[in-house]
Amino acid sequence: MVMDVDNASIVHVMRHGQVENPTGVLYGRLPGFGLSALGREMAERMGQYWAEVPLTHLRCSPLQRAQETMAPTAARHADLTITPDERVIEAENRFEGMIFGRDNAALRDPRMFWHMRNPLRPSWGEPYADIAARMRAAITDAAEAAGPGGQALVVSHQLPIWISHLAALGRSFVHDPRRRRCTLCSVTSFTVRSGRITGVSYAEPVADLLPSTSKRKFKVGT
């Protein structure tokens, strides 16, 4: 990857690989959800992708699936230590641990209606504005740790990454989850100058490994 000519720092925020989740649980922040065989293949491919990139800082969500995704890259950058960061963790969600079933049928349960009263906030989980604030702080801290002209890699989760992307573009946080541009092991790169995010780009290095459902259809769990 080409460095920015004006010595801006680049923070690459990578989503984790596919998770082993045969029952379709919305796992959120629950422990014990690691990568599937395909997810491990994705992580290994990303380790190769980052091998020749002069990374200067590594940062990771504390959740198992994020740590397992970071591992192959960290092994190729043994001179760097991984900074754990709670600010890049998955979003809090009131539906955590539920199985939604075919066509998200669980959402039609009257007991769920109260949690869905305000999709603009959203009322079922961590407010979008709070996610944006914690991710922005983590990204700018990662940029500072990377140094002028440096490149940081952060492993995080779909919703926090997408909210950060929307924030960088100055767009509304309200969105259709099925239309998030943040596939498994995708990379959303933020340009940071003087503590401010001034640009954003997006790439899908393992697009050929993506299950067909993840390309067009929202999957429970992020």
Res 6: pLDDT: 74
Quote the distance between the C-alpha of residue 79 and its chain's center.
Answer: 24
Is the dihedral angle over the CA atoms 70, 12, 168, 220 positive or is it negative? Answer: negative
| Alpha-carbon distance values, 21 to 30, 34, 87 (Å) | 12, 9, 24
CATH, range 9-216: 3.40.50.1240
pLDDT, one tens digit for every residue, the chain (222 residues): 444 447 899 999 999 999 999 988 999 999 999 999 999 999 999 999 999 999 999 999 999 999 999 999 999 999 999 999 999 999 999 888 888 766 666 667 777 766 667 777 887 799 999 999 999 999 999 999 999 999 999 999 999 999 999 999 999 999 998 899 999 999 999 999 999 999 999 999 999 999 985 544 433 334
Res 76: pLDDT: 98
| Angle separating helix axes 128-146 and 158-169, nearest 10 degrees | 80
The total number of residues shown for the chain amounts to 222
For residues 92 and 28, is the Cβ–Cβ distance under 8 A? yes
| Alpha-carbon distance values, 92 to 13, 18, 97, 138 (Å) | 19, 20, 12, 17
122 preceded by a cis bond (ω within 30 of 0): yes
CA distance 202 to 182: 8
Tens of pLDDT along 176-186?
988 999 999 99
CA distance 135 to 24: 27
Could you tell me the pTM of the whole model?
0.90
Q: Tell which phi-psi region holds residue 194, choosing left (phi > 0), alpha (psi between -120 and 50) or beta.
A: left
Backbone angles phi, psi at 33, to 5 degrees: -110, 95
**From edge to edge, which strands make up the β-sheet containing 9-15?**
82-84, 55-60, 151-156, 9-15, 187-193, 196-203
